[in-house]
Structure 1
Amino acid sequence: MVFLVMLVIAVAVVVLVMRAASAQSGGPGGTTRPARPPKRPRAQRETRFVAPDDDPEFIRELERRTRRDDGSPA
């Protein structure tokens, strides 16, 4: 059991050392990668909530339904 724990710790140490060496050399093979340019923030659309009583399309639909239901204008 102790051997298994020691093996897991040794693998973890090797992985950490490899990552550190890779970060210092710039990646696998020792080549340096160019730095990524920072991402531009996306322009957020301004969404405006329209209440149903302010929406002309909703009002037209209500008037159409009321005319269709009883046959006379509201």
Structure 2
Amino acid sequence: MLKVLLVVLLFAAVTYALVRVIERRGVARPAPRGQRTQRPQRPPARPVAPDDDEDFLRDLDRKRRHPEDPEA
């Protein structure tokens, strides 16, 4: 029974060490002192829904006030 426990503990330790190494590789390295890193450029903000789009709302208001075809 002691041998099984030893094997399980050894397996857990090796797995833990591998996970730590893999996690550290994914983390960006800090910049050397005196150097600044550039942040990634964000794409310009855009409307997500029609009610967020000022041009869309302005066009709706214009169409409501000045209908092009009153019979339609």
TM-score by length of 2: 0.37
TM-score by length of 1: 0.36
More helix by share: 1
